[in-house]
Amino acid sequence: MAAIEISESLKLGLLTRLLKMAYLEFCTNDEVELSEPSTSDKRSALRSVDRDRPPKVIGSWDWDIKADSITCDPEVALLFNADAKEAAQGLPISAFATAVHPDDLSRFNLAIDRTIRDGSAYSIVYRLVQADQSIKWVFAIGRGVMENGEVTRFPGTLIDVSEDEARRNRGMNFHP
């Protein structure tokens, strides 16, 4: 049986739809509890997400857990305030965790720990503090790769959802 060739644009379109579906699923998951008040209203999240606009995929990472070495695309390194050349060679997770917003760091660490413990899917939205102190919202998805019953690698993809979060925040009514 001959393999079916799929064009690059078709692959990208399919990937875009899958990522958007994953993000929408994340936004509607009632078990998910986020610390930021603006992200707790799931109905508002669904109204604010532009279902037809493709997500902005930043790039990917691959973490060799035993060596504590994360290699990633230059765009991912930039979002985490890491040097792109060093990140291409591999940096420890601590070099990336410093960019995670302090209010999101606990959830960030818990999600990573769960994936490393049992190889479960990794799916989380969190904030990154940029070098200029601005905030970027990202949706990170990944998975643990098991070898001989333990997670040894942790690859994933980072998606910029800052526009969706900004749109969601504008729709919320906050009362001090």
pLDDT at 46: 40
pLDDT at 11: 45
pLDDT at 99: 97
The 3-state DSSP class for residue 20 equals: helix
Q: What is the DSSP letter of 59?
A: E
8-171: which CATH topology?
Beta-Lactamase (3.30.450)
Average pLDDT rounded to a whole number, residues 3-25? 51
| Predicted confidence (pLDDT) per residue in 59-86, tens digit | 899 999 999 999 999 999 999 999 999 9
Among the ranges given (56-65, 85-94, 136-145, 158-167), the one the predictor scored with the smallest mean pLDDT: 158-167
Q: Which of 18-32, 35-49, 50-64, 91-105 has the highest mean pLDDT?
A: 91-105
| Predicted confidence (pLDDT) per residue in 114-141, tens digit | 999 988 889 999 999 999 999 999 999 9
Q: Where does the pLDDT of residue 155 fall: very low under 50, low under 70, confident under 90, or very high at 90 and above?
A: very high
3-state secondary structure string across 77-105: HHHCCCCHHHHHHCECHHHHHCCECCCCH
pLDDT at 170: 56
The 3-state DSSP class for residue 141 equals: strand
Q: How is the chain split into domains, by residue range? A: 8-171
Which residues, 6+ apart, have CB-to-CB distance to 42 below 8 Å? 27, 28, 29, 30
Which residues, 6+ apart, have CB-to-CB distance to 124 below 8 Å? 107, 108, 111, 139, 140
pLDDT at 171: 52
> Is the pLDDT assigned to residue 29 strictly greater than 80?
no
Mean pLDDT of the chain: 76
pLDDT at 24: 54
Global pTM?
Answer: 0.68
pLDDT at 56: 73
